[in-house]
Chains A and B, each alone.
Chain A
Amino acid sequence: MASFAETGPGSPVVESIRVDQVTPRAKTGLWARLIGAVVIAAIMLIPVAWMTMTAIKSRPDAVASPPKVFFVPSLDGFIGLFADRSQLGPAELAEYQQRTDLSLWEEQALVRGMKILGPSQFVGRLRNSLIISSASTVLAVTMGLLAAYAFSRYEIPGKGDLLFFILSTRMLPAVVVTIPIFLMYRAVGLYDTHIGMILLYTAFNLSFSVWLLKGFIDEIPKEYEEAALVDGYSRLQAFRKIVLPQAVTGIAATAVFCLIFAWNEYAFALMLTGDKARTAPPSIPSMLGVGGIEWGSIAAGSLLFLIPVVIVTFALRRYLLRGVTFGAIRQ
């Protein structure tokens, strides 16, 4: 083997290395950090793991005492979440057990001696959640993008105050704003409607999207557009062809944050919807089954809410800090 003196380091040395940071002691320190971090992460994720496990437990396993760590997975929780069921009488039970045309879901329900009547209320509420959160996100991001562009590129009289006003609307406690909005909605017939919820979430996400997008647009050099304007582009064309393509990442990040907010929102939905436009978050707590609280179904519902959020957390990890500080702090 050639010695180090002959071959050199093998790869280019791009940074200086402090001697005290490569000593065995420093390396042990890094290992200790790794182990500590893994342990802490594991502890912090126990609740999430427990939720996932409860979601795929059978009904008796979900409420076993002491709690079961090892169990046979089951679809009980999801069936309870998505389907209305009824207990079968002895005669019906025998008939059902003879049948061969049952779907996978129905067979699972049969194990508990139940038949499936139809889709549960939760299906409709999940659909409401999807409609309301996606529509409000599209609106909030579109309007926010336009306003952010104007705030970023023009000298607007009272700009600082306007921006401050916009952000302060975000800080208002939901319960405080809800009382008058509830009365207003009831008066104009927007109570318990999709459009009412969409507009409300748009208003609440708008402040956030203006601030975050302004940060992203501020980073795009003005000179690009100025060059385009000199070349004969109109303002709108410059906006569409120069700014939009460069702001795509920012727009996507903003959209996802708005989506998560609307997807997770509980207080407004609880107070401003009844049966028709109710979204999923306020309906998960009220999922009561035949024998009291159906923990399996609640866990299944929570898990459905959890999965998209976890994916998004990973996708957005570079922008999380910007998101939570309204774009004020960039990493």
Chain B
Amino acid sequence: MDNPQEIASSPSVASPPFEAGVKRTRWGQLSDGTIQRLFILPTLVLLIVWNIFPLFYSLYLSFTRYSHSGKLAPVWIGTANYSSLLNDPKLWKSFAITGRYALFSVLLQILIGFGLALLLRAKFKASGLITTLILIPMMLSPVVVGLFWKLIYNPLYGIFNYLIGFWNPSTAPIWLKDYALWSIVIVDVWMWSPFVMLLCLSGLKAIPDYLYEAAAIDRASSWRQFWRITLPQVAPLLLIAVLFRTIEAIKAFDLVMGLTGGGPGNATETVSVALYRMVFQGQARTGPASALAYIVLIIIIAMSNIYVRYLNKMKEA
């Protein structure tokens, strides 16, 4: 069957290619309709079983009193979980921590990433190699990154304090204790500024030269060229970067667990970490945790909706 000539000579296969719905029996001669279903079905089934079904299940659990470590079946309690969560100051603190973390890390990433892209946009010796080297951090495992930064921040034998000029360990700041949230922000910025840079670079490289040439002929200052040409042209990609990084910052888990585990106390307890502690540490409050999961989910879905639609628009453009 592998030889096309042989197939062409057998009359049974020589049918119009795009005629859907024709029933054929032999494998290799399936109709287009069957192929469609056969190709897409496994993907849909897997995604429904592993994503949609669990979400419905946890929606149900969020309205119950339930602990998975106990023997009792879930008891329906209506919206009590939601109302007690929304009145819990600890939860609001988690949201505040997450929000502050997202705001600062995304802001710094945009500034640094865009700056790096402006620096690397010109072609010079080894610019490709240097760009790739700078991209390495974003490919690493966040938990491993968190862990080795923990060593770097260590007040006694870490190098961070030495590098920024604190040579005496007794007077140097203890980063993971006194500035725990900031130390996570620093690592996140280190890891993800290259991502913003990557997006901005592709935006910068797509700006046609003639725009700058025309501006130069009109004697526009380079400052003005930046505001009137560079920034507007890169803006769509910057927006993508902001959306993606914000979603990821709200989900922050791996890095925080690797660096501080939510501590000291709950100073760096982002919503994801709070959720984890609720279910898998302590009293395993599965019901309320499901409710919190749903609150997070709604926020994430709203944001990723904007993001995906925007991506789609980019793709069509």
Contacts and interface: CB of A to CB of B under 8 A. Distances in A.
B210 to A, nearest CB: 11
A175 interface: yes
Contact of A329 (B18, B43, B237): B237
Interface in A99-135: none
Interface string B109-135: 000000010011010111110111111
Contact of B54 (A162, A181, A327): A181
Given A41-B134, A182-B68, A203-B47, A50 B156 contact: no
B267 interface: no
A54 interface: yes
List 5 tightest A-B contacts by C-beta distance, closest first.
Answer: A229-B17, A232-B8, A180-B54, A264-B141, A203-B50
Contacts of A231: 4, 8
Contacts of B30: 234-236
Given A146-B42, A206-B47, A180 B68 contact: no
Looking at chain A's contact residues, the main secondary structure is helix
Given A264-B143, A313-B132, 10 more contacts: A30-B122, A46-B159, A175-B272, A176-B296, A203-B51, A204-B50, A235-B32, A302-B148, A305-B144, A325-B240
Contacts of A48: 136-137
B305 to A, nearest CB: 8
Interface string A160-187: 1010111111011111110111111010
Contacts of A173: 250-251, 253, 272, 296-297, 300
A15 B1 CA distance: 51
A184 B54 contact: yes
A324 B163 CA distance: 32
A164 to B, nearest CB: 6
B107 interface: no
Contact of A180 (B46, B55, B300): B55
A34 B126 contact: yes
Given A33-B119, A234-B28, A50 B152 contact: yes
A150 interface: yes
Nearest to A203: B50
Interface string A205-240: 011001000010000000000101111111111000
A327 B308 CA distance: 12
11 contacts: A33-B124, A47-B137, A47-B148, A64-B157, A149-B39, A150-B36, A164-B308, A180-B54, A310-B136, A310-B139, A329-B314
Contact of A37 (B8, B120, B156, B257): B120
From A38, A45, A47, A203, residue with most partner B Cβ within 10 Å: A47
A285 B54 contact: no
B199 A325 contact: yes
Nearest to A209: B43
Contact of B28 (A45, A207, A237): A237
Interface stretch (B78-86, B176-184, B223-231, B274-282): B274-282
B139 A313 contact: yes
A314 interface: yes
A322 to B, nearest CB: 10
Looking at chain B's contact residues, the main secondary structure is helix
Given A150-B35, A284-B143, A309-B139, A37 B159 contact: no
A231 to B, nearest CB: 6
A210 B51 CA distance: 16
Nearest to A211: B311
A235 B15 CA distance: 11
A281 B7 CA distance: 51
A65 interface: yes
A267 interface: yes
Interface residues of B, number: 114
A173 B125 CA distance: 41
Contacts of A64: 157
Interface in A278-308: 281-282, 284-285, 295, 298-299, 301-302, 305-306
A271 interface: yes
A182 B133 CA distance: 38
A206 B43 contact: yes
B50 A147 contact: no
A67 B162 contact: yes
A245 interface: no
Contacts of A51: 148, 151
A195 interface: no
Interface string B149-164: 1011000111100110
Contacts of B163: 46
A166 B308 CA distance: 11
B216 interface: yes
Given A41-B130, A179-B58, A186-B68, A306 B144 contact: yes
A144 B135 contact: no
